[in-house]
Amino acid sequence: MNNTPSSAAPKLAFTQVHRLEPAQESAQKPTWAQGLGLIWFGQKPAGWAEAQTILPAMAVPLPLILPHAGDAAGLGELWLGHAPGALQMFEGIRFRCDGHSLFGVLTLDDSATGLQDQARTAYDRMFRLLAKTGYSQLWRTWNFIEAIHAQEPVSATAPGANPTADNPSERPTLERYRQFNLGRQAAFDAFAQSVPQTAPAACALGMPDGGYCFAFLAGKIPPILLENPRQTSAYHYPAIYGPQSPSFSRAALILQPTHAVLLISGTASIVGHESRHVGNVRAQTRETITNLSEIVAQANDRLPEGERFTLSKLHLRVYVRHPEDADAVRRELRVCLGKQLNLCFIKADVCRQELLVEIEASGQSLCG
């Protein structure tokens, strides 16, 4: 699949970039002027400060695991639109839109505020922005969370908390990822967002520092939200995974006049609601591939006539808990999908401590 925009390209597209070239006018190297937003991993490139004045650019403090495509110390995912307008600000969110799609980023790093409250704040602001601008359909969110597995005193508004306990030390503790789920769902409830009908594709990964980095993609047309019949829908997980189940769909399919865009959530070795192959990164990778393949099949069933999605041709972002496992994961991917893959490996903590690898995927196909 060619992710480079052209005169016949969809309104929404994406491409991977290893450097920033604002002066490049070649159609093969999109300019910042075409960018709705940018998520960057690894070492920041030259020109980063300038990029932030032009489009919503978020640098996630997670390292790349080399070697990878391009062998660069940094890698970005640039989301492209059709003649986007100027960079704008709303309650700390930096965003850009083009009449069809909107991309926004927000970083919260106030250590005095618990993650439940930070997540609620971020999603509240996002929903207010989408209501104000008319981009009411939430397609995709990215959540990168400092110390995702750490225990933290719960918010005074959390289930089971003592609302009169002003001192956090008097409150019970809860894993930060589970607090994130509480805050995210509180915002969905506050804005009357019915999760099965509106929960976007999403990921939530842990990082050693950096606070809470949040990015989102929304539009004016509703997505087709996809689930995996091999897995329990995340929003129906039982209470053993925390007081609030996660609010996301397995994938979102965006149908456009000439193209479809597939956004697959972070996917791991989960069958039903249970983690599988604990301690075995190769087996976890194979199970993850099976889950991804099923989601691709679900997407293809909903496409009009035209090109089908193929897992081996999607862009795969592979989050690995232990860098030394990357080679084993890469080999399993090549055995199952072939050698010509669009891969990026990043060191990150997966939201369940027993899971060693998580993969998210994005792709485009011609329709009609």
Q: How many domains does the chain have?
A: 1
pLDDT tens string 213-248: 999 999 999 999 999 999 999 999 999 999 999 999
Is the pTM above the cut of 0.85?
yes
How far separated are the first and last CA of the chain, in Å rounded?
Answer: 16
Half-sphere exposure of 134 (CA within 13 A, CB side): 4
| E strand or H helix at 41 | strand 35-42
The answer to whether 212 touches 101, Cβ cutoff 8 Å, is no
Whether 334 is covered by a domain: the verdict is no
Whether 317 is covered by a domain: the verdict is no
Whether 232 is covered by a domain: the verdict is yes
Cα–Cα separations (whole angstroms), residue 115 to 143, 155, 189, 242: 12, 8, 17, 15
User: DSSP 3-state assignment of 144?
Assistant: strand
Half-sphere exposure of 116 (CA within 13 A, CB side): 21
Find the CATH number of the domain harbouring 59: 3.30.1330.40
Altogether, the residues listed in the chain come to a count of: 368
Whether 363 is covered by a domain: the verdict is no
State the helix-helix crossing angle for 281-301 and 326-337, rounded to 10 degrees.
40
Pairing of the two strands 74-80 and 13-17 = antiparallel
Distance CA 38, CA 332 (A): 29
Token pair for 162: 């003592």
Cβ burial, residue 209 (10 Å; 0-12/13-18/19+)? exposed
- The range of the structural domain enclosing residue 223 comes to 13-262
Distance of CA 151 to the CA centre of its chain: 23
Cβ burial, residue 290 (10 Å; 0-12/13-18/19+)? middle
**pLDDT averages per 10-residue partition of the chain, 368 residues:** 42 84 55 88 90 94 77 86 94 96 94 89 98 98 97 75 57 93 98 95 97 97 97 97 97 92 98 98 98 98 90 97 97 96 96 98 84
Half-sphere exposure of 160 (CA within 13 A, CB side): 11
Alpha helices in the chain (DSSP H): 48-51, 115-133, 176-190, 195-198, 281-301, 326-337
pLDDT tens string 262-310: 999 999 999 999 999 999 999 999 999 999 999 999 999 999 887 899 9
Distance of CA 54 to the CA centre of its chain: 22
The answer to whether 366 touches 258, Cβ cutoff 8 Å, is yes
What is the reported pLDDT for 171? 73
Distance CA 366, CA 368 (A): 7
What is the reported pLDDT for 366? 77
- Alpha-carbon radius of gyration of the chain: 20
What is the reported pLDDT for 188? 98
Distance CA 226, CA 249 (A): 6
Closest by CA to 23, choosing from 46, 5, 56, 57, is: 46
Whether 291 is covered by a domain: the verdict is no
Whether 188 is covered by a domain: the verdict is yes
Kindly write down the DSSP assignment for every residue of 197-254, as one continuous string.
Answer: HHPPEEEEEEESSS-EEEEEEEESS--EEE--TTB--GGG--GGG-SS----BSEEEE
Instruction: List, in order, residues 6 or more apart from 335 with CB less than 8 Å away.
Output: none
The answer for 364, left when phi > 0, alpha when psi is -120 to 50, beta otherwise, is beta
